[in-house]
């Protein structure tokens, strides 16, 4: 057995099966110490029959040796069949089942981001073909669709996490999102207030199941993800309290949300509809039957109503109901700390006294009962890349 270095390459000469002496040129191996390691690994594999411990360099050399000598390949060393090219859709399905993601509190936000990525980039887009130019084009398209820069940044962050999971699993080798700078969130900032009449128009031109979601968000300030994930056990109509679990809230803290009297009959009707296999409160109900609400179905209802009503752009959005609730709470004189606790923001930056000051259910109900929900006409102000776009709309 010998190792020879010739023209910058290493050759090993040995008897892997203790009979015929053969030689192998080692590709991309330039040091004798490394060549010695390859020789040792191949010898151990050939004499033990276990080829599973070969590293990539040793495995390649061993396969070439078997091919050159026209020996029959062992099962562990047999060349694998070419795998199907990984598509964006395949990667998304892999990502939502990834251990660190499948139970993440923000899973629903990841799923919304992935839905937009798949819609614009295509389900069959090979994941390895996605690179910086395609991602820049995607961002530009989303900006033209009036998506907020913060939303686009979240979508890119989600895509970056997806690439990270694929890299950890050795399915790809690089993450192109890391080569992009984040968009400035100053562009696309929105100052929104939606009047009762504006919301009512959209609700009246939406399916009944979506109408219930609109009014629940309008009277509670809850996010769409919190609403979609809401289970029946979390609503106590007799006490008029909704309990949001930490894993359903963006802030990852539990919340108690009081139910306004106007919302009680809406939720009572919603709870009359049930579906086998799920305890979700809000369900899609149409000619196909009753089932959980899908992401694509949810996100299409609001813009369809705006388009049908021929509302002036920029349109309000479902998430703007949350901003409107906060404005209505302030204009109704609701205590700042109580309003922030309902929104879920109040722990951030608060003192120890504020953090541990208990807000009773009665205080929550008294506050929601004093709220009124019509404090002026619709105003939508959106900053753009070129200039500030500001529109005031009638009721």
pLDDT digits (tens, 9 = 90+) for 30-64: 888 889 999 999 999 988 888 888 888 888 888 88
User: What pLDDT is stored for residue 104 in this prediction?
Assistant: 76
Q: Is the peptide bond between 314 and the residue preceding it cis, with omega within 30 degrees of 0? A: yes
Q: Which two tokens stand for residue 193?
A: 């207030």
The rounded Cα 395 to chain-centroid distance in angstroms is 35
Model confidence at 386: pLDDT above 90:
no
Query: What's the chain's average pLDDT?
Result: 87
Q: How far apart are CA 66 and CA 73, in angstroms?
A: 7
Q: Which domains does the chain have, with CATH numbers?
A: 2-77 (no CATH), 88-179 (1.10.150.130), 191-392 (1.10.443.10)
Q: Which two tokens stand for residue 196?
A: 């009762």
The 10s digit of each residue's pLDDT in 332-350 is 999 998 999 998 865 555 5
Model confidence at 180: pLDDT above 90:
yes
The H or E element that residue 267 is part of is helix 261-270
Q: How far apart are CA 241 and CA 244, in angstroms?
A: 10
Angle between helices 149-168 and 107-121 (to 10 degrees): 90
Residue 182 exposure: Cα atoms within 13 Å on the Cβ side: 13
Angle between helices 336-343 and 361-370 (to 10 degrees): 100
Model confidence at 183: pLDDT above 70:
yes
Q: pTM for the whole thing?
A: 0.63
- Give the residues across from 390 on adjacent strands: 381
Q: How far apart are CA 390 and CA 191, in angstroms?
A: 9
User: What pLDDT is stored for residue 174 in this prediction?
Assistant: 92
Q: How far apart are CA 200 and CA 186, in angstroms?
A: 30
Mean pLDDT of the 263-283 span: 94
Q: How far apart are CA 87 and CA 128, in angstroms?
A: 8
Residue 287 exposure: Cα atoms within 13 Å on the Cβ side: 0
Q: Kindly tell me the number of DSSP H helices and DSSP E strands found in the chain.
A: 16, 11
Model confidence at 351: pLDDT above 80:
no
Q: How far apart are CA 157 and CA 238, in angstroms?
A: 41
Considering only residues 385 and 180, tell me which one the structure prediction assigns the higher pLDDT. Answer: 180
């Amino acid at each position: 057995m010998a190792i020879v270095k010739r023209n910058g390459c290493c050759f090993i000469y040995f008897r892997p099966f203790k009979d015929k002496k053969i030689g192998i040129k080692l590709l991309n191996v330039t040091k004798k110490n490394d060549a010695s390691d390859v020789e040792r690994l191949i010898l151990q594999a050939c004499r033990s029959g276990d080829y599973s411990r070969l590293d990539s360099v040793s495995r390649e050399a061993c396969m070439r040796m078997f091919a050159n000598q026209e020996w029959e390949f062992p099962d562990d060393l047999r060349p694998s069949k070419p795998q199907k090219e990984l598509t964006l859709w395949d990667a998304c399905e892999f990502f939502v089942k990834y251990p660190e993601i499948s139970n993440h509190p923000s899973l629903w936000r990841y799923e919304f981001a992935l839905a937009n990525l798949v819609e614009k980039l295509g389900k069959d887009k090979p994941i390895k073909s996605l690179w910086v130019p395609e991602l820049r084009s995607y961002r530009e398209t989303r900006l033209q669709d009036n998506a907020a820069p913060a939303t686009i940044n979240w979508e890119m962050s989600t895509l970056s996490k997806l690439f990270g999971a694929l890299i950890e699993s050795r399915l790809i080798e690089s993450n192109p999102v890391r080569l992009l700078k984040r968009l400035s969130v100053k562009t696309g900032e929105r100052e929104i207030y939606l009047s009762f009449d504006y919301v009512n128009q959209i609700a009246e031109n939406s399916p009944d199941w979506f109408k219930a979601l609109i009014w629940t968000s309008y009277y509670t300030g809850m996010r769409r993800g919190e609403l979609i994930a809401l289970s029946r056990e979390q609503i106590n109509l007799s006490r008029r309290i909704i309990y949001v679990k930490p894993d359903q809230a963006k802030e990852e803290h539990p919340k108690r949300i009081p139910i306004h009297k106007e919302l009680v009959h809406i939720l009572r009707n919603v709870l009359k509809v049930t579906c086998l296999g799920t305890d979700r409160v809000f369900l899609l109900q149409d000619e196909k039957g009753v089932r959980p609400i899908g992401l694509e179905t949810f996100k299409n209802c609001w813009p369809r109503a705006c388009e049908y009503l021929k509302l002036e752009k920029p349109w309000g959005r479902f998430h703007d109901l949350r901003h409107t609730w906060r404005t209505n709470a302030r204009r109704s004189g609701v205590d700042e700390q109580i309003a922030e606790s309902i929104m879920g923001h109040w722990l951030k930056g608060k003192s120890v006294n504020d953090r541990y000051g208990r807000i009773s259910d009665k205080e929550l109900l008294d506050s929601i009962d004093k709220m009124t929900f019509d404090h002026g006409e619709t105003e939508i102000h959106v900053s753009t890349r070129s200039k500030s776009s500001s529109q005031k709309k009638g009721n």
